[in-house]
Structure 1
C-alpha cells in the first residue's frame, strides 16, 4: 500500500483548508500587534524616548513573527496553486504595496536611531506608521473582495484571466472590511503595548486601544449586517465530488443573497467564530480599561482569531469565488494540489510546525518583561 493513501484525499483537502486558517490566524495574531504598534507609534509616543520605547516593545520579535507570513504564502503556493495564481496575479498591485510596506519597515527599524537629527527620526517614524497602516488596510480590503467575488475566469485549459483593476478593489464594502482590519490590529497593538510599556505610553495605548476595540465591534457588526442583506454569496448547485480532480469547471455554482450565512444555520457550532470575534473585542476593551494586561492581550488574540475564522466558516467550501463566472470559483474540493503533494506537506508540517512553535515560545519567554524607559535613555543594550 502506498503510504499517502492511508489518508483519504478529501480528508487531506479539509486538513489543509484548516491549516491555511491556522496560518492566517497565526500571522494576524503575531505580526498583527507589530502592525498595530506601528500605527499607534505617532499617537502614543510624544517624545523621542517614548517612541523608542514603543519601537523596542516590538523590535526584538517582529522578524520572527514574519515566519507566519512566509509559511502562509508557501502553503498557498504548494497546497492551493490555483488560489496562489489568481490572488498573486489579480491582486498584484495590492501585493506590491504590502511588500513595499513590509520592506520599508525593517529599514525604518534599523536606520531610525542612526542619527540624532529630529527630522530624520520623524521621517522614519512616519515610515513605520505607514508600513503598519497600509498592510492592515489592504489585508482587510482583500478579504472584503474575496467575500464579494473576484473578477476572474478560467478557460478550458485552466488558463486564468483576471479582468479587474486595482481601484476596482477599493469598493465601499471592501473598504469597510479594511477599516475592520485596521481597528482590530490597533486594538491588538494597544494590548501589546499595555503589556510591554509603562506610565504615559501605556496610558495612551489604553485610551486609543479602547476606542479601537469598540470600533472593531461596531464595524465588524455593520459589515456582517451588510454581508447578510446586500452581498450575494455563492453555493454549489451540482453534485459535489470531494475526491475529484482539481478542475473547478466541473461543478455548477450560483450566487444567492444571504447564502454566506447558510453554514451557520446548517452547523450552529460555527457561530462560535463571529461570537468570539465580537466578545473578544469587548473583552479587550474591558482589559484595557481595567488595566488587565494579559486578559486584554488574550481577548484581542481571540477576537482576531474569531474574525479571521468567521470568513472561512461563512465561505466554506469556497476559497476564492469568481464574480465573472461562478462555475470557475475555487473551492476546497477542486483547487488543491495532488493527493501525494498534500500528504508530503502534511508530514513536513507535523515535523517542523512544533519546532517553530517551541522556538517562538522560547523567544517570547526570554524577552518577557516591560521595556524600561531609563534603559532606553541610557541606551544600554537596546538596538533601536
Structure 2
C-alpha cells in the first residue's frame, strides 16, 4: 500500500505510456527480423535447401517472439481501454487481415516440408512471404494513420463510433509509413540471416539488407518532410490535469500545422529518437557491407527502436487523435484505466517481465550458431 500511495495517478499513466512504447519496440525488434526474413524468403533463397536454411534460421524462435505482440495488445486492452476499443473496431478489417497473415505463418512452417512436391513447397513459401510482408506493411500503415488521426467520435456516455472505412486507411502517407516498416524489417531480417546462415544466402542477405537500409533512410526522411509540410498535428488548448478523470471530453484541442514537431522544439533531448533512427540504419548499411554481422543487427535494432520511439515522442501526450473533432482525441492523461488497475498491472509486469526476458535470453543462447545445412539435408535433427 505504501508503494501504491507513492505512485500517484499521473506517474502511473506516464509509466504505462513508456511501457507501451517498450512493448512495441520489443515486438518490432524481436518479431521484426522474423517478419523481415519471411518477406525475403522468395528472393533470397533459390533452391529448396536454401529456402529450408532461411526458414530454419527463424523457425525455432519466431513463436516466442510473438509474446511481445501479445503483451502489447494486452497492455492496450488493460491500460488504455478506449485506445483498444477504437483501434480494434476502426481497424477491424486491417486487424483481421493481420491475424490471417499471422495464422498462416505457423501453418506454413509446419506443413511446408511435409511433401516433396515443388508446387506444394513453393505455395507455402509464398504464404510465408505473405505472413511476413503483410504484418510488416499493416503495422506501418497503422502507425501512419495514428499520426494522421482517425475518424472517430465519442458520445457524452463514452460510446465510441468509428466513421471511416478500410480503404481510408490506405492513404499515401500511411502507405509511405507501411513501406518504411517493410524496408526496415527486411534490413533487420537480412542482418539476422547474416548471423544464422553461410554461403550464397548470407551474401544475398548482405546485398539486399544493405539496399533495404538505404531505402529505409530515404523513406524515414520522406516521412519527416511530410510531417513538417503536409501532415497536420494536434495540440491541447486547455489546461492539462495529469491526474484528472479518464474522459477526453473534459479538454479542448485543436489541429495545428507542424504540431507533431513541437516536442522536439521544446525538449531538445527528444531529438535523440529520430537521430537514433537515422544513425542506426546508416550504421547498418556500413557494417553490413563490412561483414560485421553482430554489430549490424545491433545497428538495425537501434534504428528500429529510434523510429518507433520517435513516433511516441512527437505525439506525446496524444495516443490517438480524432479527425472528426480534436476534442475526442485520446491522450495519456484522459484515456487510461483506473489508478488501481494501472498499479496492479505494474506489479504484475515487474514480476513477469524479467522472467520473459531471462527465458528469451536463455533460448537464444541455447540456439545460437549457424544453421547446419548438412543436418537439414540428411534429416539428422528436426528441421522445417
User: Which interval holds the TM-score relative to the shorter structure?
Assistant: over 0.9
Q: How far 1:5 moved relative to its partner? A: 2.2
**Distance of 2:154 and 2:325 partners within structure 1:** 8
Please state how far the C-alpha of 1:267 moved relative to its aligned partner. Answer: 0.5
Question: How many aligned residue pairs are there?
Answer: 384
* TM-score normalised by the chain length of structure 1: 0.99
Alpha-carbon deviations, 1:30-73, whole Å to 9, x = none?
11000000000011110000000000000000010010011001
SS in 1 for 2:113: helix
> Following superposition of structure 1 onto structure 2, how do residues 31-110 of structure 1 map, counting pairs within 5 Å?
31-110=31-110
- 2:145 alignment partner in structure 1: 145
SS of structure 2 residue aligned to 1:254: strand
Could you give the per-residue CA deviations for residues 84-129 of structure 1, whole angstroms, max 9, x where no partner exists? 0000000000000000000000000000000000000000000000
Q: Is the contact between residue 183 and residue 213 of structure 1 (CA under 8 Å) also seen in structure 2?
A: yes
Cα deviation digits, residues 329-367 of structure 1 (max 9, x gap)? 000000000000000000000000000000000000000
User: 1:193-212 maps to which residues of 2 (within 5 A)?
Assistant: 193-212=193-212
TM-score when scaled to structure 2? 0.99
| Residue equivalent to 2:267 | 267
Deviation at 1:382, TM superposition (A): 2.9
Indicate if the aligned counterparts of 2:376 and 2:383 stay in contact, CA closer than 8 A.
no
Aligned to 2:219: 219
Deviations 1:132-181 (A, max 9, x none): 01010010001000000000000100000100000000000000000000
2:287–2:295 contact (8 Å) kept in structure 1: yes
Partner Cα separation in structure 2 for residue 144 and residue 368 of structure 1:
35
Secondary structure of the corresponding residue to residue 157 of structure 2: coil
Runs of 4+ off more than 3 Å: none
Q: Does 1:6 align with 2:37?
A: no
User: Residues 42 and 126 of structure 2 are in contact (CA less than 8 Å); yes or no, is this contact kept in structure 1?
Assistant: yes
Question: In 2, Cα distance between the equivalents of 1:69 and 1:383?
Answer: 25
Give yes or no for contact 2:188–2:301 (8 Å, CA) kept in 1. yes
Contact persistence 1:56–1:382 (CA under 8 A): no
SS in 1 for 2:121: helix
Q: What aligned pairs does 1:237-256 form with structure 2 within 5 A after superposition?
A: 237-256=237-256
Q: CA deviation at 1:3?
A: 5.1
1:160 is aligned to 2:160: yes
Residue equivalent to 1:314: 314
Task: Return the offset for 1:191.
Answer: 0.2
CA deviation map 1:179-217 (0-9, x unaligned): 000001000000000010000000001111011000000
Any conservation in 1 of the 2:20–2:75 contact (CA below 8 Å)?
Answer: yes
Partner residue, 2:354:
354
| Alpha-carbon offset, residue 286 of structure 1 | 1.0
Q: CA RMSD in A?
A: 0.8
| Whole-angstrom distance in 1 between the partners of 2:305 and 2:178 | 16
- Please name the residue that 2:283 is paired with: 283
Mark the runs of 5 or more structure 2 residues left unpaired by the alignment. Answer: none
* Residues 373-382 or 300-309, more deviating: 373-382
**Deviating more after overlay: 284-293 vs 47-56:** 284-293
Shift of residue 373, structure 1, vs aligned partner: 1.4
| Distance in 2, Cα, partners of 1:146 & 1:341 | 25
